[in-house]
Chains A and B, each alone.
Chain A
C-alpha cells in the first residue's frame, strides 16, 4: 500500500494520473514541479525506502526510447527499450536498480502516448528492414507487476497492433496476466518470463511470485496464443546449482510447448562496478555479493571459469528440450556461447 504520492503539477489534471491516485484514497498527495526534486535528491537510502516506497507520477521528457545493451538481443532486427516506470514492487537482491537509482519510490511516467509516438517514429525509420524492430519493456521495472495500477499493458499492447514491423517484449516475473488473457493474442507481442529455480527464487527474488506460479502464468498465456520467452538470467551460482536448474528446466518443459517458445536466454550475474559497490553496501550481509565474483574492466561478474561453467551446463540442460537456435547465452567475457 502506497501512503504518499508525489504528483508533478503538469500531469496533475491528466486522467491517468487521477485514475492512479484514486487507487490510494488514503495516501497523502504532494504536488511537485519536477520528479527529480524527490527522486534524485541526495542522502537517500534505497534499502530503507524499499520498506515503504512512495509513488511519483510524472511526465517523461526528452528521449523516451533508447537502443538496448547487446545482451537484450534475441535474434530480431534493431532493438530498443523504454521504461514507463522506474523501480519495482518486487525486491530481487540482484536487481541493478538498487545500484543505479537513489530512490526506491515507484516512478510512473503517465504520458504513455508520448512513448507510443516515439516508438512509431522509430519503427517507421526501420520499416524497410527485413526483421522487425524490437521494443523491450521491463528493463527498469517489471512490465506487469504493477499492471492493476498503471494499466500499462492494457494501453500499450493494443497500440502495437498498428505498428506491424515492431515487436513488443514484456519482460516480467508477474502473474498479472488478466488483461492479456482478456484480449486476443497478438503476433507482435512476446511475454518473456525471468525464471529461477524454486530455492533461488525464494532466497533472492523477494516478493516475486513463486516459480510454480510463473510457469502457470506462462502456460495460460501460451494456451491463449501469446508468444512467450524464457529468461534464465541471471543464473545464480550456488552449491547444487546444477540439480536446481535441472529440476526447474524439467518443470518448465513439462508444462510448456517448447515448439511455441520464442526464445530462451541465459546469462550470468553481472553488474557495473559502481552498482555492485552500492548494492554490497546496502546488503553487506548477503551471500550473493560475496560469492565467486570478481572485477574485470569496470564490470563485476562471476570469474570466467564459473561463468562459463554455469552458462555451458545450464545451456546443455536446455538443449534436449528446445531447438538450439532459440537459445541465446550471454557471456560477460566473450561473444554469445551458444
Chain B
C-alpha cells in the first residue's frame, strides 16, 4: 500500500505489474503474480478506505506492507526505516506492530499527522497514513504480517517543499532489494492453509449448516490422524442419514489413538 504513485513506481516496474484500474484506487497486479500494489492517495481516510477496498478481494490473510516517504527531524534523507511503533497525533492512540519478521536495517517510531508540516517530533518519523494503515490492515491479517517501511524524504535541513514525484521515486528506488527480501520474510510467516480431506462427497449429505460444519470438522480430524482406511471401513455414503454419519465418525475417532512415530508434527 502506497499513498502516491511515485512511491509505488520502483516496485511496479520491478515486478512488471500492470494497472488494473484507477478508480476508486490505482491497483497494479499481473496474472499469476502473488503481489499487488494499491495506491490510496494522501491521508488517513484515503489509506483506510483503500485498505478496506483491497482487503475485500481476498478471503485468506495476506502480507500487508505500507511503503512510503516520511519526515524526520534529523535522519538523513534517503535512509530507510522500519516502523516499530506508531502514534496517531490526533488522539494519541498507539500501536506496536509485532516485530516477528527480521528486518536488517534500523527502525523508528512514527507519528501520523493530518497535514504536511515542518515541525518534526523528537525521535520519531512523521507521515500522514501509517496509523490508519495499521488499524485497517490488522482487520484482515494477523498484526505480525502488517508492517510499514519508510524512506526519509525531508528533515529540518531540507523541508518537504523540495519534493516532487521524480525525486520521491529516486529516493525509493535504491531500496527495492531490501524491501523485497523483507516481503519474502513476511510471506514465510503466513499461517498454513486449512486442513484438506478427501471426503468432500460426504459433505453433500442432506443436513443443516451446523451439521455440515460438524461433519467437516470430524473429517478433518480423521485426515489429520491419517485414518483413511478406518473412514473407508465405515462404508459411509452421502445418502447415509446425517445422525448416523456423525455418530459413526465420532465413535471411530474416540477410539483412534494417534501414532506418534510418523513425524507428523
Hey, which bits of chain A sit against chain B, CB under 8 A?
3-4, 6, 28, 30, 32, 37-38, 41-45, 47-49, 51-54, 93, 103, 105, 199-200, 203-204, 206, 236-239, 241, 284-288, 290-292, 294, 303, 306
Contacts and interface: CB of A to CB of B under 8 A. Distances in A.
B95 interface: yes
A45 to B, nearest CB: 4
A286 B223 CA distance: 11
Given A93-B265, A303-B254, A238 B144 contact: no
Contact of A30 (B95, B96, B258): B96
Nearest to B140: A43
Give the 4 A-B residue pairs with the shortest CB-CB distance, closest first. Answer: A45-B142, A290-B221, A287-B258, A43-B138
Contacts of A284: 192, 194-195, 220, 224
B168 to A, nearest CB: 27
Contact of B102 (A3, A288, A290): A3
Nearest to B141: A43
21 contacts: A4-B84, A30-B109, A41-B95, A42-B143, A43-B139, A43-B146, A45-B143, A48-B98, A48-B142, A48-B144, A48-B189, A48-B191, A49-B144, A203-B265, A238-B258, A241-B257, A284-B195, A284-B220, A285-B264, A290-B258, A292-B253
Nearest to A50: B100
Nearest to B94: A37
A285 B98 contact: no
Given A238-B257, A290-B221, A43 B142 contact: yes
Interface string B184-227: 00000101101100000000000000000000000011101100
Contact of B195 (A206, A236, A285): A285
Contacts of A41: 95-96, 143
Interface centre among B100, B102, B145, B257 (most CB of A within 10 A): B100
A206 B102 contact: no
Contacts of B94: 37
B65 to A, nearest CB: 15
Q: How large is the interface on B (under 10, 10 to 19, 20 to 34, 35 or more residues)?
A: 35 or more
A277 B189 CA distance: 21
B85 interface: yes
Contacts of A303: 254
A277 B15 CA distance: 40
What is the predominant secondary structure among interface residues of chain A facing chain B? loop
Contacts of B253: 290-292
A154 B241 CA distance: 63
Interface of B: 84-85, 94-96, 98-102, 107, 109, 138-139, 141-146, 189, 191-192, 194-195, 220-222, 224-225, 253-254, 256-261, 264-265
A176 to B, nearest CB: 24
Nearest to A206: B265
A236 B194 CA distance: 25
A43 B142 CA distance: 5
Contact of A49 (B100, B102, B265): B100
A45 B143 CA distance: 7
Interface centre among B220, B257, B264 (most CB of A within 10 A): B257
Given A37-B94, A51-B189, A284-B224, A291 B84 contact: no
A37 B95 CA distance: 7
Contacts of B259: 238-239
A49 B224 contact: no
Contact of A3 (B95, B99, B144): B99
B98 A49 contact: yes
B138 A287 contact: no
B265 A286 contact: yes
Contact of A48 (B96, B145, B261): B145
Nearest to A290: B221
Given A47-B191, A206-B265, A238-B258, A287 B95 contact: no
A237 B255 CA distance: 11
Contacts of A103: 98
Given A284-B220, A285-B224, A48 B100 contact: yes
Contacts of B98: 44, 48-49, 54, 103, 105
A90 to B, nearest CB: 14
A44 B143 contact: yes
Contacts of A93: 265
Given A286-B265, A291-B225, A203 B99 contact: no
Contact of B258 (A32, A105, A285, A291): A291
Given A37-B96, A48-B189, 12 more contacts: A28-B84, A30-B109, A52-B102, A54-B99, A237-B257, A238-B258, A239-B257, A239-B258, A285-B264, A286-B265, A290-B225, A303-B254
Contacts of A292: 253-254, 256-257
Contacts of B260: 199-200, 203, 236, 238-239, 287
Given A28-B84, A204-B265, A292-B254, A43 B96 contact: no
